């Protein structure tokens, strides 16, 4: 009794069932071409094809780079499956591997730099990606989860440290400018009619008498030196701040130390007022619909969204928004701590995020790279005003 054409055990029926199953023998798979052959004859024919030879020529030009690329793809797919299927459990490595190779389009291990699953598991343990245990039943792995709150606090700490460094650099530049201005005024004070006291060594000439300390003002009043014209003009300009007068009621020149102390007091007062205003007006969230932001989440790096610009299309909560990429290819929900403001070119439209003008649209006038500030034009109460803001306090809006 002969077999029919569509018999269950005919070669064609067996081939169709294998094809429908999807998984076939690994030795008949070509990773460079991404082609799975059914049998040895088909694989041999594929090796002799022109397309396969062209791919092998490409492989021969940079074999290390291609193998490294396949290794990265294999590691990313394996870790993604482990994180999704067994996020908190300890599981056998071969179980995860069998789940991974169930996809007919997976990256085969023989195309990576690891020859066996044992070598790959040891690699995961060395890199600190998984906890690895060797037991009589085989290798067991469990993924090392990163605490999102710890990662968030680390990012906030780094951001705060960067802001403090920028503030220190800004303060050092301001102090250097003030010292330079004080030196210029001191040079003007050295007129031909004035007498300058040269520095001398400190000596005690009163023997064992108790020490008596006097202020610099008393010593200068005792010397009663005449005031120079430039110093008188400097005192007249800052009379409301200094309020320093000599004992006979006439203006007197101030020393460099007094001018530096006064400049430091003014700088400290301005810094305290800025901090008080920031504390008064800042709130715990700044995210708004229509802002153009940059995604800085390292978790989205495998998806190709790291450092990509997008538009906030809606707010899920006060601090979480849905960001759509500029090309509209994808949309993702991101926390505001994983976003960064975008500064447009001068003349672009921005929105004030913090301060008394929070939520007010404005126009970017200029950018001061040295002070890490931006000059914007804000219309408040019908009157245009130009104000300076930090980079974090303004953001580009969708045009």
The pTM for the full model equals 0.34
Residue 240 tokens, joined: 């409301």
Of residues 42 and 120, more confidence is placed in: 120
Alpha-carbon distance 213 to 374, whole Å? 48
What is the distance between the alpha carbons of residues 28 and 5, in angstroms, rounded to a whole number? 27
DSSP state of 211: P
Q: Out of 35-49, 73-87, 128-142, pick the least confident.
A: 35-49
Residue in 355, 363, 299 with CA at minimum distance from that of residue 332: 299
> pLDDT at position 203, please?
64
Beta bridge partners of 368: 373
- Asked if 343 contacts 367 with a C-beta cutoff of 8 angstroms, the reply is yes
Q: Which residue has the higher pLDDT, 232 or 57?
A: 57
Residue 84 host element (H or E): helix 63-85
- The mean per-residue pLDDT over the stretch 242-246 comes to 46
**Between the CA of residue 211 and those of 202, 203, 268, 348, what are the distances in Å?**
13, 12, 33, 66
DSSP strand E in 113-205: where?
130-135, 138-143
Contact 290, 397 (CB under 8 A): yes
Mean pLDDT check: name the lowest of 223-232, 261-270, 329-338, 348-357: 223-232
């Amino acid at each position: 009794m002969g077999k029919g054409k569509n018999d269950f055990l005919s070669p064609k029926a067996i081939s169709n069932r294998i094809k429908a199953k999807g998984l076939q023998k690994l030795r008949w798979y070509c990773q460079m071409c991404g082609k799975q052959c059914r049998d040895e004859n088909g694989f041999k024919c594929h090796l002799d094809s022109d397309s396969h030879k062209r791919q092998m020529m490409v492989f021969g030009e940079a074999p290390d780079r291609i193998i490294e690329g396949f290794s990265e793809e294999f590691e990313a797919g394996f870790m993604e499956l482990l994180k999704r299927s067994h996020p908190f459990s300890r599981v056998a490595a071969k179980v995860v591997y069998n789940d991974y190779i169930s996809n007919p389009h997976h990256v085969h291990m023989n195309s990576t730099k690891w020859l066996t699953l044992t070598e790959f598991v040891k690699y995961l343990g060395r890199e600190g990606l998984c906890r690895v245990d060797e037991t009589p039943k085989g290798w067991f792995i469990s993924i090392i989860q990163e605490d999102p709150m710890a990662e968030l606090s680390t990012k906030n700490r780094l951001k705060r440290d960067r802001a403090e460094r920028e503030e220190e650099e800004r303060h050092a530049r301001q102090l250097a400018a003030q010292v330079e201005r004080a030196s210029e005024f001191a040079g003007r004070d050295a007129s031909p009619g004035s007498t300058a006291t040269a520095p001398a060594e400190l000596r005690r000439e009163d023997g064992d008498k108790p020490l008596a300390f006097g202020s610099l003002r008393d010593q200068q009043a005792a010397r009663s030196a005449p005031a120079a014209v430039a110093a008188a003009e400097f005192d007249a300009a800052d009379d409301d701040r200094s309020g320093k007068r000599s004992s006979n009621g006439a203006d007197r020149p101030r020393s460099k130390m007094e001018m530096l102390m006064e400049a430091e007091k003014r700088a400290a007062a301005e810094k305290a007022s800025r901090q008080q205003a920031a504390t008064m007006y800042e709130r715990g969230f700044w995210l708004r619909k229509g802002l153009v932001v940059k995604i800085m989440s390292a978790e989205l790096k495998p998806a190709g969204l790291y450092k990509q610009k997008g538009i906030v299309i809606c707010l899920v909560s006060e601090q979480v928004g849905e960001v759509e990429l500029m090309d509209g290819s994808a949309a993702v929900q991101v926390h505001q701590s994983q976003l960064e403001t975008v500064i447009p070119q001068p003349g672009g439209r921005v929105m004030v995020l913090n301060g008394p003008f929070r939520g007010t649209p404005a126009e970017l006038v200029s950018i001061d790279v040295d002070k890490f500030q931006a000059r914007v034009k804000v219309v408040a109460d019908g009157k245009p005003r130009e104000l300076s803001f930090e980079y974090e306090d303004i953001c580009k809006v969708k045009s």
